[in-house]
Structure 1
Amino acid sequence: MHASVSVVFVLALYLSEAFCQSRIVGGKDAGTFLGRHLAQLVISYEDADYVGLCTATVIAPRWLLTAAHCFSGPSGSTSAIPAATYAFVGETDATLRIDNTDIEPYWAKQIHVHKNFKPGTAGHRSDIAMVYLDRVIPPQQLATVVLDKNLPPFGSAVMAAGYGTLGKNAAKATILMKAPVLLKPFSVCVDREHPFFRKYLKLWSHLCAVSVGWPTRGSTDTCAGDSGGPLFKFDRDTRRIRQFGITSFGTSDCAEAGSVSWYTRVSTFIGDVHRNIRRNSTVWNSFTS
């Protein structure tokens, strides 16, 4: 179904005034080193005038890791199968793709959404998905993240990265961005949420982080266009990106003072991910885009 979607049209739409997705707030250019580990996902649906943008990380030569809710359809509440999904791997500047036929996207051959994810439910439990690409990323381009079972100390600064615009009603950025956020204990974040919402949050599924300057000031955060992107630390000893979270959702405006952002806890799903790469897992709902 690749022919049904114009890559150039979608990218032009992304850069136009009519199409606005939020992104990293208070961040800066992520740079080419981090960019090689990430991909921008473009997700389109035949039955709706809708194109979704998400972020993903490279975890193997033909595999990307992202958020399951990226494939929940235009309404965000159904398990809609996209007409086409493709990824730009390691390309951090969207403007370079317009009318440039030398930049060929990777098409999604299969999409695997965790069976425990329920579209349209509060809390986005098990918000994790894997994308199997149509071809191998070349060795000279390949840079994979490390999925980390261990969390940094609570209160420490970690990094988030993603694509989109610079914030609510802000000018659009065209490059991959990163920003520091502060990792917080689950109990601290749950106490900030509405009592109705708390019952949907689970320690085994969720991590939380807050803006630098929290709770009196909001300066850095993730937003909708960052969905699927990593919460990570850079390991200076090994020079590897160590990912322990996937950007999932927030219940307040981006970078609002006192707000909390929620991430999928990667450590819970590492076994499922590795078994799926080996084609030895039954906990994923798979479909062809």
Structure 2
Amino acid sequence: MHPTASLVIVVLVAFRVIQCSLSTTRPKVAVSCVIPNEVQAGICVPPGDCPAFQRINEIGELSSTGRISFLRELYCDIDADQSGVCCPRNSLLSYRQPTLNESLPRRDRTVFATRFGENDSFQCGDSSMINKVRGGKIAAIDEFPWMAMLLYGPSNAPGCGGALISSSFVITAAHCLVGKNVQDKGNLKFVRLGEYDINRDPDCMVEGNYEDCTDGKQDVKPKRVIPHPEYSSSQFSQHHDLGLIQLERSVSFSDFIRHICLPPMAESVLTSPGTKYNVCGWGRTNFFRAGLGGDSLSPIKLKTTLPYFDHGECQEIYRAKKLSLGSGQLCAGGQKADTCAGDSGSPLMFFDRKEGTWLLTGVVSMGVKECGMEGMPGIYTNVGQYVSWIKKTANV
């Protein structure tokens, strides 16, 4: 081949490589969004890239319904996989009026609370019928209504999470019921349902032209606690970390208290690459810029999305920590995130788009102490492996 021809081929190949490189690094198109109380549109960016958002995202400023509602309204979607906040286009500016009007009529939910008929059961896994599920870290007031908060000791301190699976049973992690963790916290005193903001009762949020308020929290005493029979609190790997709480009384379902669906047994689609989960709770968080320590709980119900993490890779990571994963455990997360929304015992959830319902996929078991450590997934008890035991024990 002639040297000149060879040179032309090399140049063309190099040009193609550069062209491909440029196409993959091309910046994303800015997404416009609406800032409440302002005429000029904003731009959707990651929360950490918006100084105006950081200035108002203080825990001391979240005592008002209007401020929390304003923060939720700022959430937007940067793309299909990433949520952001609506920021002023001039990053030096602040939000002009960072609150929403609280002097609004309350939404009447009576018709929704009885929409299935007096003698019908509420459908499991049915979250809000009024407020659509949105992106962002702050959950809607009626989002994930099966969430339970477990209160321990003489001070009724929050210590674990759980999920309502029937009118009289809550599922959680076994280590929330027996072992050293319980000895340190004190005995389980109450299961709290219908909670949103631990600093207020009832809780309210501004939604459109209405103020949407809960019916108030319910603290129910446990009748008995049932750790899985094969669970051992002394086992480092925490296999079979699953338990049930039978409530002292059955609870009535409403838009703010409902039960989540159990998964079909051995449903592989729930634990396969590409699967996205949600976790929710009042867990350790650095979501609020100031006013909370690193190990403090969030006062407001938070949520986040987590990807499935390959079981084999997860085994390799934790094998170095002398921990052995079993078939009854699954891994999720492992990406850099700014929220550890789920407390121990909280549900790992999958939304079944075909049926329009939420399925209980896992229960928060253990993981790294620091939130959002890239490459370090959390470990969850795989509920699908225990459906037979759950149904038999809870009679569901």
User: TM-score range with shorter-chain normalisation?
Assistant: 0.7 to 0.9
Which residue in 2 is equivalent to 1:57?
163
Alignment of 1:1-289 (within 5 A): 28-44=137-153, 51=157, 53-73=159-179, 75-76=180-181, 82-97=186-201, 103-140=217-254, 142-148=257-263, 149=265, 150=267, 151-167=270-286, 169=294, 172-195=297-320, 197-198=322-323, 200-202=324-326, 204-211=327-334, 214=335, 218-220=336-338, 222=340, 226-251=343-368, 253-278=370-395
Once the 2 structures are TM-superposed, how far is the Cα of residue 103 of structure 1 from its aligned partner? 4.1
Preserved contact between residue 282 and residue 297 of structure 2 (Cα < 8 Å): no
Greater relative CO (CA pairs within 8 A, separation 6+): 1
Tell me how far apart the structure 2 counterparts of residues 235 and 33 of structure 1 sit (CA, whole Å): 18
- In the alignment of these two chains, the number of paired residues is 241
Preserved contact between residue 350 and residue 360 of structure 2 (Cα < 8 Å): yes
The amino acid across from 1:165 in the alignment is R
Preserved contact between residue 230 and residue 245 of structure 1 (Cα < 8 Å): yes
Preserved contact between residue 284 and residue 343 of structure 2 (Cα < 8 Å): no
| Residue segments in structure 1 that go unaligned for 5+ positions in a row | 1-14, 16-25, 280-289
The amino acid across from 1:143 in the alignment is R
Tell me how far apart the structure 2 counterparts of residues 206 and 79 of structure 1 sit (CA, whole Å): 25
- Higher strand share goes to which structure? 1
SS of 1:147's equivalent? Answer: coil
Kindly report the root-mean-square deviation, in angstroms, between the aligned alpha carbons of the 2 structures: 3.1
SS of 1:31's equivalent? Answer: coil
State the TM-score, normalized to the length of structure 1.
0.73
Tell me how far apart the structure 2 counterparts of residues 274 and 186 of structure 1 sit (CA, whole Å): 26
| Residue segments in structure 2 that go unaligned for 5+ positions in a row | 1-58, 60-83, 85-135, 203-215, 287-292
Preserved contact between residue 58 and residue 143 of structure 1 (Cα < 8 Å): yes
State the TM-score, normalized to the length of structure 2.
0.54
Tell me how far apart the structure 2 counterparts of residues 42 and 136 of structure 1 sit (CA, whole Å): 18
CA 1:81–1:116 in structure 2 vs 1: closer, same or farther (change >3 Å)? farther
Once the 2 structures are TM-superposed, how far is the Cα of residue 82 of structure 1 from its aligned partner? 5.0
Preserved contact between residue 71 and residue 79 of structure 1 (Cα < 8 Å): no
Tell me how far apart the structure 2 counterparts of residues 122 and 231 of structure 1 sit (CA, whole Å): 22
Aligned identity (percent) is: 21
> What are the superposed Cα offsets for residues 165-208 of structure 1, whole Å, 9 maximum, x if unpaired?
3147266521111101110221011112243524x311x21100
